[in-house]
Amino acid sequence: MAQREFDITIGPGGEVKLHIHGFKGKSCLEVVRFFEKMVGKVKSQENTSEFYEPEETVRFHIDQRQ
Amino acid sequence: MGAVCILTPVVIAAWPAFSAVVAAAATSLGYSVVAEGIERVNEEVRGKTASTEQRIQLEIANSQLVTNQLGRDQRISVARNGVTVTFSCDARGHAEVCVTGTGQTEEALRAFGEELSQRVVQRYVYQRVMDELRAHQFTVVEEEVEADQSIRLKVRRWEN
Protein backbone atom coordinates (compact mmCIF):
# COMPACT_ATOMS: atom_id res chain seq x y z
CA MET A 1 0.00 0.00 0.00
CA ALA A 2 1.20 3.51 -0.82
CA GLN A 3 0.81 6.39 1.57
CA ARG A 4 -0.49 9.64 0.11
CA GLU A 5 0.05 12.68 2.24
CA PHE A 6 -0.52 16.44 2.01
CA ASP A 7 0.45 19.24 4.35
CA ILE A 8 -2.06 22.04 3.92
CA THR A 9 -1.70 25.46 5.51
CA ILE A 10 -4.68 27.79 5.19
CA GLY A 11 -3.36 31.29 5.88
CA PRO A 12 -5.28 33.97 7.79
CA GLY A 13 -6.53 35.39 4.48
CA GLY A 14 -7.44 32.01 2.98
CA GLU A 15 -4.31 31.54 0.88
CA VAL A 16 -3.41 27.87 0.76
CA LYS A 17 0.09 26.40 0.87
CA LEU A 18 0.07 22.79 -0.23
CA HIS A 19 2.93 20.36 0.22
CA ILE A 20 2.30 17.09 -1.64
CA HIS A 21 4.10 13.89 -0.65
CA GLY A 22 3.95 10.42 -2.21
CA PHE A 23 2.69 11.36 -5.67
CA LYS A 24 5.08 10.86 -8.56
CA GLY A 25 5.23 12.31 -12.05
CA LYS A 26 1.98 13.47 -13.59
CA SER A 27 -0.06 12.04 -10.71
CA CYS A 28 1.30 14.99 -8.75
CA LEU A 29 -0.22 17.32 -11.33
CA GLU A 30 -3.58 15.57 -10.87
CA VAL A 31 -3.41 16.47 -7.19
CA VAL A 32 -2.54 20.08 -7.97
CA ARG A 33 -5.55 20.25 -10.36
CA PHE A 34 -7.77 18.70 -7.66
CA PHE A 35 -6.78 21.47 -5.24
CA GLU A 36 -7.05 24.11 -7.94
CA LYS A 37 -10.70 23.17 -8.54
CA MET A 38 -11.30 23.08 -4.81
CA VAL A 39 -9.51 26.26 -3.69
CA GLY A 40 -8.55 28.53 -6.60
CA LYS A 41 -5.69 29.49 -8.88
CA VAL A 42 -2.10 28.31 -8.44
CA LYS A 43 0.03 31.36 -7.67
CA SER A 44 3.32 29.52 -7.54
CA GLN A 45 4.53 25.93 -7.78
CA GLU A 46 7.85 24.30 -7.05
CA ASN A 47 8.31 20.67 -8.06
CA THR A 48 10.47 18.48 -5.87
CA SER A 49 12.55 15.46 -6.92
CA GLU A 50 9.67 12.99 -6.54
CA PHE A 51 7.73 14.92 -9.16
CA TYR A 52 10.22 13.73 -11.81
CA GLU A 53 10.01 10.03 -10.89
CA PRO A 54 8.04 7.61 -13.16
CA GLU A 55 4.38 8.49 -13.12
CA GLU A 56 1.44 6.56 -11.75
CA THR A 57 -2.27 6.96 -12.31
CA VAL A 58 -4.33 8.86 -9.76
CA ARG A 59 -7.82 10.17 -10.47
CA PHE A 60 -9.82 12.71 -8.55
CA HIS A 61 -13.32 13.83 -9.35
CA ILE A 62 -14.65 16.95 -7.76
CA ASP A 63 -18.31 17.90 -7.64
CA GLN A 64 -19.51 21.09 -9.29
CA ARG A 65 -19.67 23.94 -6.74
CA GLN A 66 -23.13 25.01 -5.69
CA MET B 1 8.68 14.80 -2.24
CA GLY B 2 6.19 15.86 -4.94
CA ALA B 3 5.43 19.56 -5.11
CA VAL B 4 4.90 22.66 -3.04
CA CYS B 5 2.39 25.17 -4.30
CA ILE B 6 0.56 28.27 -3.20
CA LEU B 7 -3.06 28.74 -4.24
CA THR B 8 -5.06 31.98 -4.24
CA PRO B 9 -8.57 31.36 -2.93
CA VAL B 10 -11.69 31.88 -5.00
CA VAL B 11 -14.99 32.11 -3.13
CA ILE B 12 -17.85 30.63 -5.13
CA ALA B 13 -20.87 29.97 -2.95
CA ALA B 14 -24.62 30.06 -2.78
CA TRP B 15 -25.91 32.84 -0.51
CA PRO B 16 -27.10 30.59 2.34
CA ALA B 17 -23.72 28.86 2.55
CA PHE B 18 -21.85 32.18 2.36
CA SER B 19 -24.08 33.73 5.00
CA ALA B 20 -23.44 30.77 7.34
CA VAL B 21 -19.68 31.20 6.85
CA VAL B 22 -19.95 34.94 7.64
CA ALA B 23 -21.89 34.19 10.83
CA ALA B 24 -19.36 31.58 11.98
CA ALA B 25 -16.32 33.74 11.14
CA ALA B 26 -17.85 36.80 12.81
CA THR B 27 -18.69 34.86 15.96
CA SER B 28 -15.10 33.60 16.17
CA LEU B 29 -13.93 37.25 16.25
CA GLY B 30 -16.45 38.30 18.91
CA TYR B 31 -19.12 39.79 16.61
CA SER B 32 -22.84 39.05 16.95
CA VAL B 33 -25.26 38.71 14.08
CA VAL B 34 -27.58 41.73 14.35
CA ALA B 35 -29.61 41.41 11.20
CA GLU B 36 -30.11 38.97 8.37
CA GLY B 37 -32.33 39.30 5.31
CA ILE B 38 -33.45 42.37 3.36
CA GLU B 39 -36.07 43.95 5.61
CA ARG B 40 -34.33 43.58 8.93
CA VAL B 41 -31.04 44.96 7.62
CA ASN B 42 -32.81 47.96 6.06
CA GLU B 43 -34.49 48.71 9.38
CA GLU B 44 -31.12 48.48 11.09
CA VAL B 45 -29.56 50.94 8.62
CA ARG B 46 -32.56 53.36 8.80
CA GLY B 47 -32.20 53.54 12.55
CA LYS B 48 -28.65 54.81 12.23
CA THR B 49 -28.76 57.25 9.34
CA ALA B 50 -29.04 60.35 11.55
CA SER B 51 -25.79 59.65 13.36
CA THR B 52 -22.33 60.91 12.36
CA GLU B 53 -21.01 57.48 11.65
CA GLN B 54 -18.14 56.76 9.28
CA ARG B 55 -18.70 54.29 6.48
CA ILE B 56 -16.30 52.43 4.21
CA GLN B 57 -16.89 49.91 1.44
CA LEU B 58 -14.72 46.89 0.61
CA GLU B 59 -15.00 43.92 -1.69
CA ILE B 60 -13.90 40.32 -1.22
CA ALA B 61 -11.50 39.63 -4.11
CA ASN B 62 -12.24 36.66 -6.36
CA SER B 63 -15.72 36.14 -4.99
CA GLN B 64 -18.80 34.98 -6.85
CA LEU B 65 -22.02 34.58 -4.92
CA VAL B 66 -24.98 32.74 -6.31
CA THR B 67 -28.39 33.96 -5.24
CA ASN B 68 -31.77 33.09 -6.64
CA GLN B 69 -33.83 35.93 -8.09
CA LEU B 70 -35.73 36.50 -4.86
CA GLY B 71 -32.53 36.60 -2.87
CA ARG B 72 -30.66 39.11 -5.03
CA ASP B 73 -30.49 41.77 -2.32
CA GLN B 74 -29.76 39.52 0.61
CA ARG B 75 -27.50 40.81 3.36
CA ILE B 76 -26.14 39.84 6.74
CA SER B 77 -24.97 42.36 9.37
CA VAL B 78 -22.74 41.64 12.34
CA ALA B 79 -21.65 44.04 15.09
CA ARG B 80 -18.96 44.36 17.76
CA ASN B 81 -18.27 47.34 20.04
CA GLY B 82 -20.29 49.79 17.96
CA VAL B 83 -18.86 48.67 14.60
CA THR B 84 -21.30 47.09 12.15
CA VAL B 85 -20.13 45.06 9.16
CA THR B 86 -22.67 44.22 6.47
CA PHE B 87 -21.97 41.61 3.82
CA SER B 88 -24.04 41.65 0.65
CA CYS B 89 -23.94 40.57 -2.96
CA ASP B 90 -23.44 43.35 -5.52
CA ALA B 91 -24.97 43.45 -9.02
CA ARG B 92 -22.03 41.48 -10.46
CA GLY B 93 -22.39 38.78 -7.82
CA HIS B 94 -19.27 39.82 -5.89
CA ALA B 95 -19.26 39.87 -2.10
CA GLU B 96 -19.43 43.47 -0.89
CA VAL B 97 -18.49 44.54 2.65
CA CYS B 98 -19.75 47.77 4.23
CA VAL B 99 -18.25 48.80 7.59
CA THR B 100 -19.85 51.53 9.69
CA GLY B 101 -19.07 52.90 13.13
CA THR B 102 -19.28 56.10 15.12
CA GLY B 103 -16.09 57.63 16.51
CA GLN B 104 -13.86 55.40 14.37
CA THR B 105 -11.33 56.49 11.76
CA GLU B 106 -11.61 55.20 8.20
CA GLU B 107 -8.37 53.30 8.69
CA ALA B 108 -9.74 51.55 11.77
CA LEU B 109 -12.96 50.62 9.98
CA ARG B 110 -10.98 49.35 7.01
CA ALA B 111 -8.84 47.22 9.33
CA PHE B 112 -11.94 45.75 11.00
CA GLY B 113 -13.52 45.02 7.61
CA GLU B 114 -10.37 43.43 6.22
CA GLU B 115 -9.80 41.31 9.32
CA LEU B 116 -13.34 39.93 9.17
CA SER B 117 -13.30 39.49 5.37
CA GLN B 118 -10.07 37.52 5.61
CA ARG B 119 -11.53 35.33 8.35
CA VAL B 120 -14.59 34.70 6.17
CA VAL B 121 -12.42 33.60 3.23
CA GLN B 122 -10.26 31.42 5.48
CA ARG B 123 -13.32 29.76 6.97
CA TYR B 124 -14.86 29.22 3.53
CA VAL B 125 -11.64 27.60 2.26
CA TYR B 126 -11.33 25.42 5.39
CA GLN B 127 -14.91 24.19 5.03
CA ARG B 128 -14.50 23.44 1.35
CA VAL B 129 -11.17 21.64 1.79
CA MET B 130 -12.51 19.54 4.68
CA ASP B 131 -15.66 18.57 2.77
CA GLU B 132 -13.72 17.52 -0.33
CA LEU B 133 -11.04 15.63 1.60
CA ARG B 134 -13.69 13.66 3.49
CA ALA B 135 -15.47 12.92 0.21
CA HIS B 136 -12.20 11.48 -1.12
CA GLN B 137 -11.53 9.34 1.96
CA PHE B 138 -8.58 11.34 3.23
CA THR B 139 -8.03 11.40 6.97
CA VAL B 140 -6.94 14.53 8.79
CA VAL B 141 -4.23 13.21 11.11
CA GLU B 142 -3.17 16.59 12.53
CA GLU B 143 -4.87 19.95 12.81
CA GLU B 144 -3.36 23.01 14.48
CA VAL B 145 -4.02 26.72 14.59
CA GLU B 146 -0.77 28.66 14.46
CA ALA B 147 -0.04 31.91 16.31
CA ASP B 148 -0.79 33.93 13.14
CA GLN B 149 -4.20 32.13 12.90
CA SER B 150 -3.08 29.94 9.98
CA ILE B 151 -4.69 26.50 10.07
CA ARG B 152 -2.27 23.65 9.45
CA LEU B 153 -3.62 20.25 8.39
CA LYS B 154 -1.81 16.98 7.79
CA VAL B 155 -3.89 14.74 5.58
CA ARG B 156 -3.28 11.10 4.69
CA ARG B 157 -4.72 8.29 2.61
CA TRP B 158 -3.50 4.77 2.01
CA GLU B 159 -3.91 3.27 -1.45
CA ASN B 160 -3.34 -0.16 -2.98
The yes-or-no verdict on residue A26 having pLDDT over 80 is no
Q: Which of A3, A5, A17 sits opposite B6 (nearest CB)?
A: A17
Question: Rounded to an integer, what distance in angstroms lies between the CA atom of residue A65 and that of residue B123?
Answer: 16
Question: Can you tell me the distance from the alpha carbon of B149 to that of B118, in angstroms, rounded to the nearest whole number?
Answer: 11
- Please say whether the beta carbons of A11 and B150 come within 8 A: yes
Question: Which positions in chain A touch B12 (Cβ < 8 Å)?
Answer: 65
Of A1, A43, A63, the CB nearest to B6: A43
By the CB < 8 Å criterion, does B29 face chain A? no
Mean pLDDT, residues B45-58: 70
Chain B residues with CB-CB distance to A44 below 8 A: 5-6
The mean predicted confidence, pLDDT, of chain B is 87
Contacts of A35 in chain B (CB under 8 A): 5, 7
ipTM for the complex shown: 0.85
Q: What are phi and psi of A59, to 5 degrees?
A: -125, 135
- Cβ-proximal residues to B77 (8 Å cutoff; 6+ apart), any chain: B33, B34, B35, B36, B41, B44, B84, B85, B86, B87
Query: pLDDT tens digits, residue range B58-85?
Result: 999 999 998 766 555 688 999 999 999 9
Most B CBs within 10 Å: which of A7, A9, A16, as the mutation test of the B interface?
Answer: A16
Check if the beta carbon of residue B126 is closer than 8 Å to that of residue A8: no
Distance from CA of B128 to the nearest CA of A (A): 7
Q: Is the pLDDT of residue B50 over 50?
A: no
Q: Do A41 and B159 touch (CB under 8 A)?
A: no
Q: How high is the mean pLDDT of chain A?
A: 80
> Mutate which of B1, B19, B58 to test chain A, going by most A C-beta atoms within 10 A?
B1
Q: Phi-psi region for residue B157, left (φ > 0), alpha (ψ -120 to 50) or beta?
A: beta
Nearest CA in chain A to B13: A66
Q: Are strands B11-14 and B63-66 parallel, antiparallel or unpaired?
A: parallel
Which helix or strand (DSSP H or E) is residue B120 part of?
Answer: helix B106-135
User: What is the pLDDT, as a whole number, of residue B160?
Assistant: 65
Q: What is the pLDDT of residue B46?
A: 52
- Residue B131 in this model has a pLDDT that exceeds 80: yes
Predicted local distance difference test score (pLDDT) of residue A58: 60
3-class SS letters over B40-92? HHHHHHHCCCCCCCEEEEEECCCEEEECCHHHCCCEEEEEECCEEEEEEECCC
Measure the CA–CA gap between A11 and B67, rounded to whole angstroms: 28
3-state SS class at B101: strand
Q: Which chain A residues are Cβ-neighbours of B148 within 8 angstroms?
A: 11-12
Which residue of chain B has the CA closest to A14? B122
